[in-house]
């Protein structure tokens, strides 16, 4: 398979800028997903010739003549099912994609095996979404697709050195929360423990990417005590190609964007929380975003799991000495997370603020990851319960943050992956009744919306269950991979209907 790495802004230059700046399409992602009808360089040459001649360029007509636009989002899919489990099992087929072939100039990075897309405007695979989608695929008995998803991610690591945000050229400059080791663990639960050693090379390459071992990706930060923690850091400092207009208009007209603004926006996209007050300097405004100055608690918990998984795979290979090194790295990271990210005053795990040299003031649901992955002490779990129950628990589940900013990763929204992390974290520390309460409220909300609309959506308003989830750069999407996966997994776990 030919591997094109040129992004749409590189391929089309001034044409790309003109289309995105003109708002030819309401969604900036439309044009970057379009497929050229001929060689991209020829298209750019034709456009530049028209501009040079002083001709009026009808952009809409020019694009229509030279590009195949992406199909309408899957939000048009209308279910005939009233039973949600049957609906989800049908949706796997709607969201299914065969192994890719690629056209010259397409932004798609072709994958060698079948896969599942989230739905709506998200026409490609997404890294961390896929783990939560797998939870439902496992319940549906779709074990072959699960294995092919893991193979695709292993292939991406082998081909590009990391798993990109999604399989698009414009996502190559960043990854997403590193769930690959949890995917391998899930597959091992289906196929047996030999899976760990099978994917050891890719697990090690994934680790090298995040630890700056093979290239200076700047994800690793050495703390004053010599311990190492990690942050999100996109490799580019320019507006996102898929949100060019939004990024370039964040700064008021006539003012230059501050240095690092675009990288911080992109790095928030790498976090998966795009966008949230979690990353804002003032806690309110996207213009104050400074993602790269935080050491995210969830990222470091996931890397702890990756270190432990590598150690397990090494032992299967008989490489005990190297396995002990990774055990030691995991132990050191656990100690660093507890030292730098635990706020005794709040009784909560938060991101570490490098600028303020303290745990971040505002608690978020990312603080449940140390419980989800077994890093916290039982005493810390006991200390965290009052805040979870009093502030995060809402009628429809748990809310993402305690701030309402209009951003989608803030109140009043709840998201499927964070419900799962919270429920499983509570279960692991013996708080089974509260875990069940969170699950029941989330499932009840999902089912009510499904029965009213026939849809399972990307996010939900957990504070006012009568309102849809909203906020952010685009309308709420339906489909939806990780909602389907978590809903089905929770329904099966707690026998809910």
Q: Which residues are tagged catalytic?
A: 274, 458
The whole-number pLDDT of residue 76 equals 57
Longest pairwise C-alpha distance within the chain:
73
Q: Do 295 and 351 meet the contact criterion of CB atoms below 8 Å apart?
A: yes
Across the 497 residues of the chain, what is the mean pLDDT of every consecutive 10-residue run? 77 96 94 96 95 90 96 67 93 93 87 94 94 98 98 98 97 98 98 98 98 93 98 97 94 82 97 98 94 98 98 98 98 98 96 97 96 98 98 98 97 98 98 98 96 92 80 68 97 96
Q: Distance (Å, rounded) from C-alpha 326 to C-alpha 333? A: 10
Q: Distance (Å, rounded) from C-alpha 267 to C-alpha 237? A: 10
Q: Do 427 and 436 meet the contact criterion of CB atoms below 8 Å apart?
A: no
Q: Distance (Å, rounded) from C-alpha 359 to C-alpha 158? A: 36
- Is-cis flag, bond preceding 412, omega within 30? yes
pTM of the full predicted structure? 0.96
Q: Which of 30, 116, 25 is nearest to 71 (CA)?
A: 30
Residues in the chain: 497
Q: pLDDT for 304-356, tens place per residue?
A: 999 999 999 999 999 999 999 999 999 999 999 999 999 999 999 999 999 99
Q: Do 145 and 114 meet the contact criterion of CB atoms below 8 Å apart?
A: yes
């Amino acid at each position: 398979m030919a591997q094109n790495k040129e992004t749409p802004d590189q391929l089309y230059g001034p044409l790309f800028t003109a289309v995105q700046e003109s708002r030819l399409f309401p969604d900036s992602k439309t044009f970057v997903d379009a497929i050229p009808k001929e060689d991209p360089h020829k298209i750019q040459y034709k456009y530049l010739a028209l501009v040079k001649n002083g001709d009026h360029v009808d952009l809409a007509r020019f694009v229509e003549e030279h590009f195949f636009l992406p199909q309408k989002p899957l939000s048009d899919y209308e279910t005939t099912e009233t039973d949600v489990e049957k609906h989800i099992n049908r949706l796997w087929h709607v969201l299914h994609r065969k192994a890719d072939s690629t056209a010259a100039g397409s932004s798609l990075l072709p994958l060698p095996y079948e896969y599942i897309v989230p739905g709506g405007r998200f026409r490609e695979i997404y890294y961390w979404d896929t783990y939560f989608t797998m939870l439902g695929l496992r319940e549906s008995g779709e074990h072959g697709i699960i294995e092919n998803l893991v193979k695709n991610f292993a292939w991406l690591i082998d081909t590009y050195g990391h798993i990109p945000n999604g399989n698009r050229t414009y996502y190559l400059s960043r990854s997403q929360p590193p769930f690959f080791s949890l995917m391998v663990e899930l597959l091992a639960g289906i196929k047996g423990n030999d899976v760990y050693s099978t994917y050891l090379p890719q697990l090690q390459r994934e680790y090298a990417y995040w630890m700056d071992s093979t290239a200076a990706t700047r994800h690793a930060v050495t703390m004053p005590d010599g311990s190492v923690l990690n942050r999100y850091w996109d490799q580019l400092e320019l507006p996102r190609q898929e949100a060019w207009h939004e990024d370039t208009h964040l700064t008021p007209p006539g003012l230059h964007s501050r240095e690092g603004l675009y990288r911080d926006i992109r790095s928030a996209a790498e976090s998966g929380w795009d966008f949230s007050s979690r990353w804002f300097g003032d806690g309110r405004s996207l213009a104050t975003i400074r993602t790269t100055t935080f050491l995210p608690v969830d990222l470091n918990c996931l890397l702890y799991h990756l270190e432990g998984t590598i150690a397990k795979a090494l032992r299967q290979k008989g490489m005990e000495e190297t396995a002990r090194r990774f055990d030691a790295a995991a132990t050191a990271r656990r100690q660093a997370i507890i030292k730098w990210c635990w706020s005794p005053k709040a009784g909560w795990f938060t991101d570490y603020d490098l600028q303020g040299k303290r745990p971040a003031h505002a608690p978020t649901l990312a603080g449940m990851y140390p419980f989800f992955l077994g890093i916290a002490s039982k005493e810390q779990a006991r200390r965290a319960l009052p805040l979870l129950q009093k502030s995060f628990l809402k009628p429809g589940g748990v809310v993402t943050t305690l701030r309402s900013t209009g951003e989608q990763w803030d109140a009043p929204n709840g998201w499927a992956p964070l419900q799962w992390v919270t429920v499983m974290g509570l279960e692991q520390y013996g708080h089974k009744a509260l875990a069940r309460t969170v699950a029941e409220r989330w499932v009840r909300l999902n089912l009510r919306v499904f029965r009213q609309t026939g849809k399972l959506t990307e996010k939900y308003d957990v504070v006012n269950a009568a309102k849809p989830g909203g906020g952010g750069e685009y309308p709420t999407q339906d489909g939806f991979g990780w909602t389907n996966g978590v809903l089905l997994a929770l329904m099966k776990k707690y026998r809910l209907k």
